[in-house]
A and B are shown apart, each in its own frame.
Chain A
Amino acid sequence: MKIMVVDDEVEIRRLLSKILKLKFKNYEVVEASEGAEALKLLDESQVDIIFTDINMPNGMGGQELLEKLSQRKFGGSVYVMSGFYDNEKFKDNPIVNNFFAKPFNIDDIISAVKEVKVRDVA
């Protein structure tokens, strides 16, 4: 299982990745600082879960990344993390599994990964 964290805020990206690596020791966690880097990583290997920020001004933003994932028919789980938008913007987007308003509780992210794990086992 591979998880990708897409966020332009380096400390958030780094800390979230470290926590996920510690919590899910058998999972690989990769990081991207914006959408284009995320798509490049997706070209290189399969990713099962994506946590993505939306507002990433120095590169491809999360909204465009969601569109690209949709075009590619990405089959994994996608979670949006944003401090700028609310759930309304994403609730009808079929590619988005859930939305986390920043600042979010890290346990909610861990629960999301556990849910995917359970779904996969089932």
Chain B
Amino acid sequence: MLHNYVYDIDGTITKEGYDLWYLTSLALARDKGEFEKNINDWKTSKEDLYSRSLKMMNLAVAGFSSNNIEEEVLKIIFDIGFNNLIRPGALEQISRDIEKGRVCFSTTNYSQGAQVLSRLIEEHLGLNPGLIKVKGSIIDLNERRVISLNLGPEKILGIEGVIAQAYGDDPLGNDQAMMEAANRAYIINTLKNKEVSLYDRLYW
């Protein structure tokens, strides 16, 4: 049986405050004020997390000024600096887990953006390209709409085998299903989750 080690990306692999989905969407937004307004609407909406997130991502994608997600993500990582962006503890853990099973990054971010980060981490760790499985939201860039939002229970849909370990920073929200399904889950310490007493806490 295949053993998976599943990692959320934003806030888990990336340091707190560096949300690649937000930074990518903002960089690609034709109207940055409109994008920020949509973010605010998402925060204050009474709809369930999935519905309001799907609505927000569709609005973000519809307002893209270009389809070059990969290039924007690379530029963002270049500006921040790879070592400033990625938690060193996450890199150490990934290199340990890759020896034990399959490492999978599962994020609500666009799959293209997650792929870029995954390749950079593979290169940094000297791993073969494609060794880390990547699962992100699927976007139709021609129609400018979301095909599949990788959020909540969707984050583990299609991951075959056992989820041996899961790593997330949002155990009561976006990472809940992923962490509940795992044999063992770890919460990555952030200001937002500091009051949560579930799971073992990692201070990467």
Instruction: Show the binding face of A for B, using Cβ within 8 Å.
Output: 11-12, 14-16, 18-19, 22-23, 103, 105-107
Contacts and interface: CB of A to CB of B under 8 A. Distances in A.
8 tightest CB-CB pairs across the interface, nearest first?
Answer: A11-B82, A15-B78, A19-B74, A22-B71, A106-B75, A106-B78, A18-B74, A22-B70
A19 B71 contact: yes
Given A19-B71, A19-B74, A22-B71, A106 B79 contact: yes
A22 B120 contact: no
User: Which residue, A11, A22, A23, A107, has most C-beta atoms of chain B within 10 A?
Assistant: A11
Nearest to B86: A11
A101 to B, nearest CB: 14
User: Which residue, B78, B79, B120, has most C-beta atoms of chain A within 10 A?
Assistant: B78
Contact of B81 (A11, A16, A18, A23): A11
Contacts of A103: 79, 81
Contacts of A19: 71, 74-75, 78
B193 interface: no
B82 A15 contact: yes
Contacts of A106: 75, 78-79
B46 interface: no
A16 B79 CA distance: 10
Contacts, number: 32
A22 B74 contact: yes
B93 interface: no
B148 interface: no
A36 to B, nearest CB: 23
Nearest to B79: A106
B71 A23 contact: yes
B192 interface: no
A15 B74 contact: yes
Contacts of B40: none
Given A22-B74, A106-B75, A106-B78, A15 B120 contact: yes
A113 B74 CA distance: 17
Contacts of B120: 11, 14-15, 18
A45 to B, nearest CB: 23
B94 interface: no
20 contacts: A11-B81, A11-B82, A11-B83, A11-B120, A12-B78, A14-B120, A14-B123, A15-B74, A15-B78, A15-B82, A15-B120, A16-B78, A18-B120, A22-B70, A22-B71, A22-B74, A23-B71, A103-B79, A103-B81, A106-B79
